[in-house]
Structures are given as structure tokens and as C-alpha cells.
Structure 1
Amino acid sequence: MVYPYTAALVGAFLYILQQGLMMNTGAYRGKAGIGVGFGDDRHLERKIRRHGNLAESAAVFIVVLALTEMLVGTGSVVIAFGAVFAMARVSHAFAFNSLGGSHEKSESTRKYL
């Protein structure tokens, strides 16, 4: 039987990232005094989204990666998929760390969205 070591390593990395994002969001909630939701705090909204997006996608990816690794063995494709996904999640966390991007649209653009 082939054990999914690559999937386990990627999963461990993503779990550590998830815990870091969770603690960051929780600490900000405590500082802002917002227990549920995000109120009108755009910073908290972004922190919730970067934590939630990882939570939504990481578990399914790890299961599929582990099944793939068990079926085809650990190879460069499995390692590449795991590395690309992990780097994409880190990039997403950094990108959602600021208010730049989608939240900074002008009023004229916002009315069409």
C-alpha cells in the first residue's frame, strides 16, 4: 500500500496556515470588539474571507491529493499539484491582507456590481 506522505505534508502545512489565519482573525475580532459578523469593518471582512476561503477548499483538495497519491504513487505531478495549491493559498492569504483590490472600487463602479 502506498501511503500519501506528500498529501500529509501539504495537509500539515495547510493546517498550520489555517490556524495562523484563525488566530489572526480572532485577535482582530477581540481588538475590534466584534463577536459575530463583520459589521462595517472591511479589514475584518477580508480576514474572515481569507480564513474562510482556505477552510472551504483545503480539506477537499487534501482528500483528492491523498487519493491520487495512493492510486498513482508519489511522483512529480502529485508533488507539483500539492506545491502549487499550497503556494496559491499563501498568495491568497497575503493578497487578502490589505484592502487593495475589490474593496477599493469607485462609487461609479460599485453601483454596477
Structure 2
Amino acid sequence: MPDAMTTTMTLPVISAALAGVIIILQQILMLATGTRRGKTGQGVGVAGDVQLERLARRHGNLAENSGIFIASLALLELLIGSGMTVQIFALVFLVARLSHAAGFSTLRGSHGKIDGETAPGSALFVGLRAGGATLTALSGIALGGFILVNVWGYLPF
């Protein structure tokens, strides 16, 4: 492997593009949550409002997963360049997060049964939410492993 101090640096443009899309999505979800809070007068917490809970969870789940993934992807991109591997990681993560947000777009997707209804939640929305969460986890684990494989030769031990 080349000496880490003499390698050329590639700007992480794929990670930056992913960050651009994710920050726009994050702000849209934040505004939806804030709008509901304004309508209900609920500043903190959800006070049993399942709509507000759904919106807050949708916003929060994106926030808790996106930052570390994008930072990690940018580090990988600095290590190996902006090739197909980085592009695939970015695309899979984006699809996962869009799927998860879409699954949380209805109460049936987030809460299943609503207000005593006997019908289960929509399989489509529950599947989008669960699939998005699973794909997020798998892409993060794969990204972490791929980073470790690529830095192993540079480690001093």
C-alpha cells in the first residue's frame, strides 16, 4: 500500500451530494414536525398525539442515522476515491432513508392499528419502514467493514 502521507486526496463529492439531498429531506421532515407542533401547541414531547409522534420519529430517525453515515462515507471516499463502491453505498443509504421516511408517512406505517381499528397497518407502509431501517443498518455495517478493510494496511500495529 502507498504511504498514507504521499497519497493524493480526492474531494468527497459523492458524500457531499448525498449530504445535500439528506439535509433537504431533514429540513422538510423538521418543518412537518414543527408545523404539527404549531397546530397543536405542543412544544416538547407528544402528549399522546400519534400524528406528532410519527412526525417526530420520522425526523429523529433520519437525524440519528445520517450524520455518522455521511461522515463515514466521506472518509471512505477520501481513502479510495469517488468510484462505484462509494456511489453504491450512497445510493443504497439514500434509498433506505427515503423508504423509511415513506413508511412513516402514514399512521398505518408507524402505528399499525389506529384508534381501535381492527385492521392491521398497511403492509406496504410497514414494509417500507422496516425495509428502510434494515437497509440502513446493513449499509452502515457494510460501510464500517469496508472502511476497516481499506485502512488496515495503514494501521501502525
What TM-score comes out, normalization by structure 2 length? Answer: 0.65
2-structure distance, mates of 1:79, 1:49: 28
Structure with higher Rg: it is 2
Residue by residue, what CA displacement relative to the aligned partner does 1:19-53 show, whole Å, maximum 9, x if unpaired? 01000100011112211100111011010001000
Whether the aligned pair in 1 keeps the contact of 2:54 and 2:110 (CA below 8 Å) is no
Structure 2 counterparts to residues 12-91 of structure 1, below 5 A: 12-91=20-99
In structure 2, the CA distance between the partners of 1:48 and 1:10, relative to structure 1 (3 Å rule), is: same
Aligned alpha-carbon RMSD (Å):
1.5
Match of 1:98 in 2: 106
What secondary structure is seen at the aligned counterpart in 2 of 1:100?
helix
- 4+ runs of 1 displaced by more than 6 Å? none
Unaligned runs of 5+ in 2: 1-8, 117-157
Alignment TM-score, normalising by the size of structure 1: 0.89
Q: 1:31 to 1:65 in 2, by over 3 A?
A: same
Q: How many residues align?
A: 107
Q: Which amino acid aligns with 1:63?
A: A
Deviation sequence 1:54-92 (CA, Å, 0-9, x none): 110100000110000110111111101101101111111
- For structure 1, the residue ranges without an aligned partner over 5 or more in a row are 107-113
Higher RCO (Cα < 8 Å, 6 or more apart): 1
Can you list the C-alpha shifts for 1:90-110, whole angstroms capped at 9, x where unaligned?
11111111111452358xxxx
